[in-house]
Amino acid sequence: MLVIGGGVSGLAAGLRLHDAGRDFLLAEMEDQVGGHSRSGTNAITAFPWGAHYVPLPSEESTEVRRLFERLGIITGYEKGLPIYDDYALCADPDERLLMYGQWQEGLLPKLGVSKAEQAEHQRFFAQMETFRNLRGQDGRRAFCIPIDASSADPALRALDRISFAAWLEDQDYGGEHLLWLLDYSCRDDYGAGLAQVSAWAGIHYFAARNGRAANTDRETVLTWPQGNGWLVERLAAPFAGQIRTRALAVGVQDGPRPLTNLYLPEEDTVLLVESRAVILAVPRFVAARIVHSPAARPDAGDFHYSPWLVANISLDRLPAGPGAELAWDNVAYGQSMLGYVVATHQHLAMNPRQTVITAYWPLDHLPPAAARAEALARNGETWKTLIAQEILRMHPELAGAIRRIDLRLWGHAMVRPVPGFIWGKARQQALQDHPPLFFAHSDMAGISIFEEAYTYGIRAADAAIRHGPHPT
Ligand SMILES: Cc1cc2nc3c(=O)[nH]c(=O)nc-3n(C[C@H](O)[C@H](O)[C@H](O)COP(=O)(O)OP(=O)(O)OC[C@H]3O[C@@H](n4cnc5c(N)ncnc54)[C@H](O)[C@@H]3O)c2cc1C
């Protein structure tokens, strides 16, 4: 079998095929696997280039829980609740927010927030708790991870047809600070603000996560210095010999034994691979280009992707600032850039002198294609100047401490759950396989998260195994 794409979804498929004793090759176009969850390293520390955390897996994330048991992230159970390895649990303090020149703990604005607004915050979070426990007419939870486990109740799915902004207005939420937090949250998970995503997606962000633990609270996330690159390394290790990097799939011809053209830039040759099945663990817009058979060719017309810029900034001293102490995730109120996470936060050394911070910037100020064009038109030096300005605006005390800035521009970073997308026709079509071609990518969920990528990878591998009972 052939797996195209070595992101989390492709690696999940590879691991499943490996466990089932199947003969397969995984082809990845980059020089390293991991896709949007890849990581890097320098003399100071390892650091993420994209995905940097996973929340405690929800009740429905059964495949992810199984993986976490296998990797020792879940070390046991106590009264039915998973016990998580302390090394993976985000150390305290986890989040802080810069407002009016002062750092406060947590991301929910507190400074200068009126009593009326505080009451609104309470009302909103109480409503999200109701949604978290809500079940549709079919008995399924209203909002789940993975998304396909969610209730099909039409009354709930109707929330997908309006924007989150319109729903909030309808529910009489209008406080500046709450709207900022919700917009920040949507930009953080979807790369698009609350006016661009559906109400279903906006509520999902708050209501789907119901994972609990025996040894920490529900809000704690799992993270590592290299972010989800830690998971990538362990997903790929068992079948490293079956991975071919710098192998770009340029064409897949459907048929009883599909034929794939792999371009190998180092040899400047095209390798023709015949296989019993092909798992396309690539974004939909890539699958639409490389599958040549019209009957199986995916339609990517309704898939929209947000571009992001990620910068890893090596510092000669730790960021500081007045108020709450340095946290793992550090955000400035009202800033277009989302803030940064600190790679050395999970290090066991108590007081590192140097660090790498990873700054995240969803480019959602323009429609995606225009934002991509603008981002590409800027050269690296211009981007580095912009990033340095944003960091120094948060931390004037870091003047002179920025040793280097490394950049990565993700043109199609995250699929956007625009109104009508999650429960619309395009996504439902994307879930249809065309044996012997099988599809796996997080964008099939309408949201880009580890749990979806991993689950779709497992699903595609299981379908491919059922399709081809003989281990070839
Ligand atoms: C900036 C950023 C931050 C994120 N933060 C988080 C986070 O904190 N937590 C979280 O859960 N998720 C996060 N995500 C989402 C992340 O995308 C998913 O968690 C997950 O990594 C997606 O995996 P995937 O396999 O679906 O897709 P991808 O990562 O897109 O993998 C697809 C792979 O296919 C390869 N490929 C594409 N075309 C070809 C071809 N023709 N031939 C061969 N190979 C090809 C690509 O190089 C890539 O390796 C973030 C994403 C970004 C961009």
Domain shared by 267 and 189, yes or no:
no
Tell how far the Cα of 40 is from the centroid of ligand 1, in angstroms: 15
Atom of ligand 1 nearest to the CA of 448: 15
- Is the shortest distance between the CB of 188 and ligand 1 below 6 Å? no
Domain shared by 428 and 289, yes or no:
yes
The CATH number given to whatever domain includes residue 186 is 1.10.405.10
Phi/psi for 382 (5° steps) reads -65, -45
**Residue at 233 is within a domain:** no
Domain shared by 283 and 144, yes or no:
no
Tell how far the Cα of 203 is from the centroid of ligand 1, in angstroms: 23
Query: Contact 21/469 with Cβ under 8 angstroms?
Result: no
pTM of the model: 0.97
Tell how far the Cα of 285 is from the centroid of ligand 1, in angstroms: 13
Q: What span, in angstroms and rounded, lies between the C-alpha atoms of 383 and 395?
A: 18
Atom of ligand 1 nearest to the CA of 289: 41
Domain shared by 115 and 193, yes or no:
yes
> What are residue 409's DSSP bridge partners?
309
HSE-CB of 127 using CA atoms within 13 angstroms: 14
**Residue at 425 is within a domain:** yes
Tell how far the Cα of 8 is from the centroid of ligand 1, in angstroms: 7
Nearest C-alpha neighbor of 365 from the set 164, 166, 180, 193: 193
Cα–Cα separations (whole angstroms), residue 310 to 181, 187, 382, 468? 21, 14, 14, 40
Query: Contact 313/390 with Cβ under 8 angstroms?
Result: no
Domain shared by 125 and 260, yes or no:
no
Write the DSSP symbol of residue 337.
S
CA dihedral 69, 74, 78, 79 (to 10 degrees): -70
**Residue at 283 is within a domain:** yes
**Residue at 181 is within a domain:** yes
Tell how far the Cα of 415 is from the centroid of ligand 1, in angstroms: 10
Residue nearest atom 38 in ligand 1 by C-alpha distance: 282
Q: Are strands 269-274 and 259-264 parallel, antiparallel or unpaired?
A: antiparallel
Phi/psi for 375 (5° steps) reads -65, -40
Which ranges of 25-99 does DSSP label H, i.e. alpha helix? 62-70
The CATH number given to whatever domain includes residue 271 is 3.50.50.60
**Residue at 71 is within a domain:** no
Extract the tokens encoding 17.
């095929």
Q: What span, in angstroms and rounded, lies between the C-alpha atoms of 446 and 427?
A: 7
Domain shared by 254 and 188, yes or no:
no
Q: Is 91 helix (H, G, I), strand (E, B) or coil?
A: coil
Q: Is 356 helix (H, G, I), strand (E, B) or coil?
A: strand
Domain shared by 143 and 202, yes or no:
yes
Domain shared by 261 and 188, yes or no:
no
Q: How many domains does the chain have?
A: 2
- Is the shortest distance between the CB of 321 and ligand 1 below 6 Å? no
Residue of 189, 231, 282 to mutate, ligand 1, most atoms within 8 A of C-beta: 282
**Residue at 316 is within a domain:** no
Q: Using only C-alpha atoms, what is the Rg of the chain? A: 22
Atom of ligand 1 nearest to the CA of 456: 26
Q: What span, in angstroms and rounded, lies between the C-alpha atoms of 322 and 423?
A: 45
Extract the tokens encoding 230.
């830690």
Domain shared by 286 and 432, yes or no:
yes
Tens of each residue's pLDDT in the chain, 472 residues: 999 999 999 999 999 999 999 999 999 999 999 999 999 999 999 999 999 999 999 999 999 999 999 999 999 999 999 999 999 999 999 999 999 999 999 999 998 899 999 999 999 999 999 999 999 999 999 999 999 999 999 999 999 999 999 999 999 999 999 999 999 999 999 999 999 999 999 999 999 999 999 999 999 999 999 999 999 999 999 999 999 999 999 999 999 999 999 999 999 999 999 999 999 999 999 999 999 988 778 888 899 999 999 999 999 999 999 999 999 999 999 999 999 999 999 887 656 789 999 999 999 999 999 999 999 999 999 999 999 999 999 999 999 999 999 999 999 999 999 999 999 999 999 999 899 999 999 999 999 999 999 999 999 999 999 997 654 4
Read off the amino acid at residue 444.
M
Domain shared by 193 and 269, yes or no:
no
Give the Cβ contact number of residue 383 at 10 Å. Answer: 17
**Residue at 197 is within a domain:** yes
Which residues lie below 8 Å from residue 19, measured CB to CB, with a gap of 6+? none
Q: Let me know the angle formed at the C-alpha of 37 by 418 and 244, rounded to the nearest 5 degrees.
A: 120
Nearest C-alpha neighbor of 345 from the set 214, 231, 222: 222
Cα–Cα separations (whole angstroms), residue 280 to 11, 415, 447, 453? 12, 17, 18, 12
Read off the amino acid at residue 185.
S
Domain edge (last residue) among 190, 207, 224: 207
For helices 62-70 and 450-467, the axis angle rounded to 10 degrees is 90
- Is the shortest distance between the CB of 224 and ligand 1 below 6 Å? no
Residue of 16, 33, 37 to mutate, ligand 1, most atoms within 8 A of C-beta: 37
**Residue at 55 is within a domain:** no
Write the DSSP symbol of residue 57.
P
Question: What pLDDT is stored for residue 295 in this prediction?
Answer: 77
Domain shared by 124 and 258, yes or no:
no
Range of the domain at 167: 95-207
Domain shared by 166 and 17, yes or no:
no
